[in-house]
A and B are shown apart, each in its own frame.
Chain A
C-alpha cells in the first residue's frame, strides 16, 4: 500500500547519500582558505633552511605568525584527510579495508594536529 508515494518520496527512502555534500563543500572551503595561508608555510620553510634558531623563535613568537601556522596546519590536515579519503574510496574496493584506512588516516591526522599545537605551545612558552 505504498504505491501512492511519489517517485521522489520513494527515492528519498532508498539509502542516504551519507555526508557527501558536506565532504565536497569542506574540501572547497579549506582549499580557498589555504590559498592565502600558503605565504606562512613558505616563510616557515624558508626560515627553517636559512635562519638562525633565534630568528626562527622570534618569528614563531609573533602572535600572527604562530596563529597563522596553526591555522594552516589545522586546515591543511583536514583538507589532506578529506582528499586521501577520496583516494581510498576510488582505489580500495574492499569495504572493511577502506573504512579502516579512512579512519586510520583521520585519527593520525588528528594526532598530527594536536602535535602541531603542542609544539607551538612549547615554542611560545620557551621563547
Chain B
C-alpha cells in the first residue's frame, strides 16, 4: 500500500480562504436564524395573549443575555442577507474571478456591520 498518495486538502490542515470561512458561517447563521424563528413566533403569540404577556416578554427581552442573543440574531440576519445576495450574483453567473473574491468578502462583512449599526441607531 502506497502511503504517499496525494490527498485532497483536509479541513484541519487546509487554510480556508476568506470566502470559505464566510461560506461555512453563512450555513451556521442560517441554522442559528432558523432556531431564532421560534422566539419570533413566541413574541407574536405573546402579543396576541394580551398586555400582561407582552410586558413579561418585553422584560425578558431586556435581560443582558437575551439582548446579546437578539443582537446576535440581527447581525446574523444581515450577514446571511449580504452573503445571500452574493450567492444570487454567483447564480446569475457573475463574480467568479479570483481578484474580486476577497474584495466582495470584505465588502459583505462591512455591509453587515453597517446595517446592524444603522438598525441599532435608527430603530432602537
Contacts and interface: CB of A to CB of B under 8 A. Distances in A.
A122 B41 CA distance: 13
B33 A119 contact: no
B31 A120 contact: no
A31 B82 CA distance: 11
Contacts of A41: 40, 77
B16 interface: no
Interface stretch (B5-13, B51-59, B96-104): B51-59
Nearest to A122: B48
Interface residues of B, number: 37
B1 interface: no
A56 B30 CA distance: 27
Interface string A20-36: 00000000100110110
Contacts of A56: 47, 54
Contact of A48 (B27, B34, B41, B57): B57
B69 to A, nearest CB: 12
Contact of A49 (B44, B47, B124): B124
A42 B123 contact: yes
With a 10 A CB-CB cut-off, give which of A34, A43, A45, A46 has the most chain B CB atoms. Answer: A45
B109 interface: no
Given A35-B81, A38-B77, A48-B43, A80 B88 contact: no
Interface of A: 28, 31-32, 34-35, 38, 41-46, 48-50, 53, 56-57, 60, 69, 73, 76-77, 80, 83-84, 87, 112, 115-116, 118-120, 122-123, 126
Interface of B: 27, 30-31, 33-34, 37-38, 40-41, 43-45, 47-51, 54-55, 57-58, 61-62, 70, 73-74, 77-78, 81, 84-85, 87-88, 91, 119, 123-124
The 8 A-B residue pairs with the shortest CB-CB distance, nearest first, are A122-B48, A46-B123, A119-B44, A80-B34, A119-B48, A53-B51, A83-B30, A119-B45
